[in-house]
Structure 1
Amino acid sequence: MFRPLQTLAGGLIAALAVTAAHAKPLSQEDLSVAEVLRDRALESSDAYSIVESLTVEVGPRPTGSEGDRRAVAWAQEKMKKLGFDRVYTEQIEVPRWNRGHAHARVVAPFPQPLVVSSLGFSVSTPEEGLTAEIVPFADVEELIEAPAEKVEGKIAFINKRMERTRTGEGYGPAVQGRSRGMRAAAGKKAAALMIRSVGTDSDRFAHTGMMRIKDVENPVPALALSAPDANLLEKMLERGKPVEVQLDVHNQQLEDGPSFNVIGEITGREKPEEALIIGAHLDSWDEGTGALDDGAGVGVVLETARMIAELPQRPRRTLRVVLFGAEEIGLVGAKQYVQAHRSELDNIVAVSESDFGADKVWRFDTRLPESKFDIADQMMQLLAPLGIERGNNETHGGPDGSVFVAQGVPAFGLYQDGTDYFDYHHTPNDTLDKVDPENLKQNVAAWVVMSFLTVEMEGDLGRVPTEH
């Protein structure tokens, strides 16, 4: 249980007083309040109960599904209970797809089953299935460069391993096979595509995820293969005999339909038209319960807003929490938000998204004009005791945040330790038991420092160079 922040001693109320002038961008009074918020978050914040509620009461929430609709209703109700001044939705249009079954089996020369998962929006095999020879490739570039006759009629197998890192930087090179592989395979008239799962675990789970499917003529079935089964195929191929695999895949392509961004605001007392956007994405893949991706982020930003809402007075400018829809299938909610609010982007002082699991935050990155670095330096005074180090000025503010940064909006990045994140990412194993409540408290402590100081500061953060 936590005590409402209205019960803080009179010194906290006094600390909120606006001073006439400061030697630095962030006043000592505001830093003092942020320090109190940080320490209270470590003691009593409860982001975990939000994640538990989402995963237990809603569960999987693929874009445009019944679970997605339940999540939207859940988010609105939760925001109202947490004390937001305004709660609303904005409809987005999304492609929709239903996962059916996916079975794979080596039929020659060493018959045995394989553990696979359809990649997002994969087409089906013929009703009777298909059987074809495996042709391996080290990465998607090798597949792209291969002559068509090497691939035609065969199952292209991209066997790219992902490197385990704290930053998750191994994901970018490995995910190319998932995002671009089916297009390359279809272009060479392959029978199907299989990829080594984009993950760092050795569990017999396959990692699903989205592909680039737009304008692909004659798409082919596309599957992720668990790491142990990718190893198995690799060893079979080393024996020099043709390896044939039988696939039976059935998925359902649906018409486009509606989803929603869910938005809650703590309205600014002096500059309500200006806003800091902190976000997470509400959708998830369907095989786990989306606890790490991105239930943890939802819990962190909602709890951050709750703590700021319980202060004795509203912040100087608006704190806007956006739970983006359809992130998993291509940042659809963020893109449509930016398009709908293009004329208002100058009033967004900064953006940041929590979407990298539930481990402790260890690094603070920014995307600010150089003239504003002193603001980040002052924030670091309060972040450093949490075990957080200063990073670079190259953050995109999270996947959805990157859409805003491309339009010149400044960004903050509070990055969790991602060493183990891709063990669970997009698998049936993304479940609540992987979330440590104490780690979430540290996350909230970091987020409430950054968020409060941004919405309370007198000046602004300027603009950053746009990306083309």
Structure 2
Amino acid sequence: MKKLYILFGFAIGLIALQGQAQNSQEVIDAIVKEANDNSQLERLAHEMLDVIGPRLVGTPQMKQAHDWAVGTFQSWGVDAKNERWGEWRGWERGITHIDMLEPRVQSLQGMQLAWNPSTGSKGVKAEVVVMPNKILDSMGFQKWLPTVKGKLVMVSMKQPTGRPDYNWEEFATEESFEKMKSDRDEQTKQWRQNIRNTGYNSRTIIAALEEAGAAGIISCNWSRGFGVNKIFSARTKAIPTVDVELEDYTMLYRLAEYGNKPVVKIVAESKELGRVPTFNTIAELKGTEKPDEYIVLSAHFDSWDGATGATDNGTGSLVMMEAMRLLKKFYPNPKRTIIVGLWGSEEQGLNGSRSFVEDHPEVVDGLQALFNQDNGTGRVVRISGGGFLNSYDYISRWLYPVPQDIKTHIETDFPGLPGGGGSDYASFLAKGAPAFNLSALNWSYWNYTWHTNRDTYDKIVFDDVRSNAILTAILAYMASEDPEKSSREKIVLPINPRTGEQRTWPTPRSPQRDGMKD
């Protein structure tokens, strides 16, 4: 009789496990079907990127994006709020016109940099000059410096070619390609030494030129691709700084070098808005059984504003929003609490996520897993265990039910090494919490869309983004349902081959909460 009771209990348990597995598969199948048949990604991308646009910290567009995200989550029945973590310099971009007036008339392709001082509608008109190409020492530079008064000064090297290396590699002879690279390397070395000889570096020299009376600064931060430049922030206090695309920049440079005395007019309008609050958008599905344990879906919401921030990190934000929509629809009562964190001011140093880590130790302490996506529009192709000894056990369990057409592209690295701070998962990882980056195929990300003037909606590969949303939703579901708590046991880190010293676990860093100090 005792054996019968044991067998009966075992049978009941087996039936329960089978039923649980069946229910899990039904949820996963429903998530996959909804994501493929009724994706909201295109509509969300249009509203975020085309209507709101770039999301530079401190701008009205950033706050508009936060409010839009909260409203969108709430329309799905998901609790959401904007959580203030600091203040920043408020600024709003206006129009930019850059026109060459002499020796002929031509409108130039370029834009003002972020937080650029406004020229007003009248603009600034002046002759363009280049830096001397043979500065021997700081005394010689100081003698030349007064000549910039009333001039627009070009502060970037004249690139020897506007063709990316892959174009040379395809069409040039091997000898020609190698010669070009050698000449460019030597020119770059000489340019950098020339700047060092001034007594300044490429950043501090801007203040010296402004103090000497320059009318404005013209730069070219070429990103080694056709028509693509990286757009960051201005370092001037009262005069305009514009970035001009390589094709026009090198033309201006040659005109100035040959003595043709080009004259350019810059109209770069903007508004200073004083101190403005900064936020993270936090959406939440409260856990029913283990509400004090958390799954966090992580992406930074802010961008630079050379374009609309489509792949850095509009796509990551879209993945997390769509994953939460899917979870709310088919898993509305999760066992553990599921949070979406759309972080502010990642671009200035992970400030939003670092603030959340400081302000919410209970989430860090109760973290079951964080999944972060940040490097472009491509499908996820790599997941690392982040230096957690037993990460293989639980991540493999969570990956198991992911559809094969998604999973087949993913390489795993267990136990891996902890990330050093390139994206928001590192804010949690530094606290020893299990935070994992979903690394994506780059689609020429580093040259063509990362922080550039070409990071726009048309660069999104929606098939890949849709796969990432499915992957993220299933990982979150499986991590929530897992009866076991994820282990935080760390590996003994190996020797760094560059230094010969043992690697150390990343340490937490405090955020910059006051952007007016920049």
Measured against the shorter chain, the TM-score band is: 0.7 to 0.9
Seen in structure 2, the aligned counterparts of structure 1 residues 245 and 348 have a Cα distance that, compared at 3 Å, is: farther
Give the corresponding residue for 1:68: 62
| Separation (CA, whole Å) in 2 of partners of 1:316 and 1:358 | 31
Matches within 5 A, 1:189-338: 191=214, 192-203=216-227, 206-210=229-233, 221-233=240-252, 246=264, 248=266, 249-286=268-305, 288-311=307-330, 314-338=333-357
Write the deviation string for residues 419-460 of structure 1: whole angstroms up to 9, x where unpaired: 333424555644433333322221112222332233332222
Say if 2:464 is the partner of 1:442: no
Which stretch has the larger CA shift, 256-265 or 111-120? 111-120
Give the corresponding residue for 1:91: 84
Alignment length, in residue pairs?
425
| Separation (CA, whole Å) in 2 of partners of 1:73 and 1:48 | 19
Seen in structure 2, the aligned counterparts of structure 1 residues 74 and 441 have a Cα distance that, compared at 3 Å, is: same
Write the deviation string for residues 229-249 of structure 1: whole angstroms up to 9, x where unpaired: 344356557x66587564624
Q: Secondary structure at the match of 2:223?
A: coil
Seen in structure 2, the aligned counterparts of structure 1 residues 300 and 136 have a Cα distance that, compared at 3 Å, is: farther
Say if 2:130 is the partner of 1:134: yes
Say if 2:36 is the partner of 1:43: yes
Say if 2:213 is the partner of 1:185: no
Say if 2:155 is the partner of 1:156: yes
1:303 aligned partner, one-letter code: E
| Separation (CA, whole Å) in 2 of partners of 1:90 and 1:113 | 43
Matches within 5 A, 1:400-411: 400-411=424-435
Shift of 1:16: 7.4
| Separation (CA, whole Å) in 2 of partners of 1:341 and 1:146 | 53
Give the corresponding residue for 1:389: 411
Structure 1: gaps spanning 5 or more residues: 1-10, 18-27, 166-175
Seen in structure 2, the aligned counterparts of structure 1 residues 56 and 273 have a Cα distance that, compared at 3 Å, is: same
Seen in structure 2, the aligned counterparts of structure 1 residues 363 and 33 have a Cα distance that, compared at 3 Å, is: farther
Structure 2: gaps spanning 5 or more residues: 1-13, 167-191, 196-200, 491-504, 509-518
Seen in structure 2, the aligned counterparts of structure 1 residues 240 and 194 have a Cα distance that, compared at 3 Å, is: same
Shift of 1:364: 2.1
CA contact (8 A) 1:202 1:228 kept: no
Identity of aligned residues (%): 23
CA RMSD of aligned residues (A): 4.3
Which stretch has the larger CA shift, 180-189 or 258-267? 180-189
| Separation (CA, whole Å) in 1 of partners of 2:422 and 2:287 | 24
Seen in structure 2, the aligned counterparts of structure 1 residues 197 and 271 have a Cα distance that, compared at 3 Å, is: same
User: Taking structure 2 as the reference length, what is the TM-score of the superposition?
Assistant: 0.67
Write the deviation string for residues 87-137 of structure 1: whole angstroms up to 9, x where unpaired: 222123222112234444567778755322122112356964444412289
Which structure: larger Rg?
2
| Separation (CA, whole Å) in 2 of partners of 1:105 and 1:350 | 52
Write the deviation string for residues 331-386 of structure 1: whole angstroms up to 9, x where unpaired: 43223323322465322333333233323222223424123233334455547742
Seen in structure 2, the aligned counterparts of structure 1 residues 351 and 134 have a Cα distance that, compared at 3 Å, is: farther
**Which of the residues 419, 423, 435 maps onto 2:443?**
419
CA contact (8 A) 1:277 1:320 kept: yes
Seen in structure 2, the aligned counterparts of structure 1 residues 128 and 42 have a Cα distance that, compared at 3 Å, is: closer
CA contact (8 A) 1:236 1:243 kept: yes
**Which of the residues 75, 86, 109 maps onto 1:115?**
109
**Which of the residues 486, 494, 504 maps onto 1:460?**
486
| Separation (CA, whole Å) in 1 of partners of 2:302 and 2:385 | 26
1:135 aligned partner, one-letter code: M
Which stretch has the larger CA shift, 73-82 or 372-381? 372-381
Which stretch has the larger CA shift, 239-248 or 87-96? 239-248
Q: Secondary structure at the match of 1:121?
A: coil
1:389 aligned partner, one-letter code: E
User: Taking structure 1 as the reference length, what is the TM-score of the superposition?
Assistant: 0.74
| Separation (CA, whole Å) in 2 of partners of 1:253 and 1:135 | 30
Seen in structure 2, the aligned counterparts of structure 1 residues 114 and 340 have a Cα distance that, compared at 3 Å, is: same
